[in-house]
Structure 1
């Protein structure tokens, strides 16, 4: 009973990490677009002709990377994303990697699509939905009889979450097509 209760807590952490990663992925993409626009509009977006040696090219790339980090719309979500990564590694110390990685990645995949849509990005919803269903089936097939959907009183926590995400994705698909 204690082990199942601990695993349910781990599953909630996995889902939380996936949600944070998904949200910050979508927001970091916005920051990266700002950076890309700034690079294209500046004269220093391409290495000068005299930048032919490896150390010169590395310094030029380092300068561009530092410009990216100076954009707060990228840096703040990046730091939040890194803190979720630290939580992810802490979860790995208590739960099997064969469960943590698919659950977290499936949640991240769905959350990135949902947050991208909420931020107004053009999202290929059918493709995202197909990927989400594929990841869900992967979690189910890699843990038959031992999956996180079989734990005591909260035995459907992951299944319910994934089903909700799929339903939400379907709803977003139909609303974007003007059918709702």
Structure 2
């Protein structure tokens, strides 16, 4: 379970940081060429590939993105040893909570009461799922 929580924290932290990088990308796109309505498909594709290259050249996006992908690979490795019904809720709840916390640490405005309420619901759901998994495991051992 510790690995699932660690993956969720990494995903949450990188989500918040990538959001900042995406905002920088949006600013850069405002000053870049936009496809003309009568552009050819080749021209539209060239502009699109250029926009993606611009996104990946922004280190505030690309470095957290690579770290996020590493956490995804770790998550798939975890799935080989853990039940999906436990891994997904634990990791998702941790990711949502970590995204909110890291967003606050990065100075984003957050609706704290709503975020807290959402996290309590997720915590309850995860707790219920973990308890059910433990109960099923104990029943099988009898």
TM normalised by structure 1 equals 0.70
Equivalent residues in 2 for 1:142-153 (5 A)? 142-147=129-134
Identify unmatched segments of 5+ residues in structure 1.
1-10, 151-180
1:27 matched residue in structure 2: 17
From 63, 67, 70, the counterpart of 1:83 = 70
Q: Do the aligned residues in 2 keep the contact of 1:18 with 1:108 (CA within 8 Å)?
A: yes
Q: Do the aligned residues in 2 keep the contact of 1:140 with 1:147 (CA within 8 Å)?
A: no
From 111, 115, 118, the counterpart of 2:98 = 111
2:127 matched residue in structure 1: 140
Q: Distance in 2 between matches of 1:88 and 1:34?
A: 29
Equivalent residues in 2 for 1:1-150 (5 A)? 11-40=1-30, 42-44=31-33, 46-53=34-41, 55-147=42-134
Q: Do the aligned residues in 2 keep the contact of 1:139 with 1:147 (CA within 8 Å)?
A: no
Cα–Cα, structure 1 residues 35 and 147, in superposed 2: closer, same or farther, change >3 Å?
farther
Q: Do the aligned residues in 1 keep the contact of 2:86 with 2:133 (CA within 8 Å)?
A: no
SS of equivalent to 1:144: helix
Per-residue deviation at 1:26? 0.6
Q: Distance in 2 between matches of 1:99 and 1:20?
A: 18
Cα–Cα, structure 1 residues 52 and 127, in superposed 2: closer, same or farther, change >3 Å?
farther
4+ residue segments displaced more than 6 Å: none
TM normalised by structure 2 equals 0.87
Per-residue deviation at 1:18? 0.5
Cα–Cα, structure 1 residues 134 and 43, in superposed 2: closer, same or farther, change >3 Å?
same
State the Cα RMSD in Å. 2.1
Identify unmatched segments of 5+ residues in structure 2.
138-142
The alignment of Structure 1 onto Structure 2 pairs a total of residues equal to 137
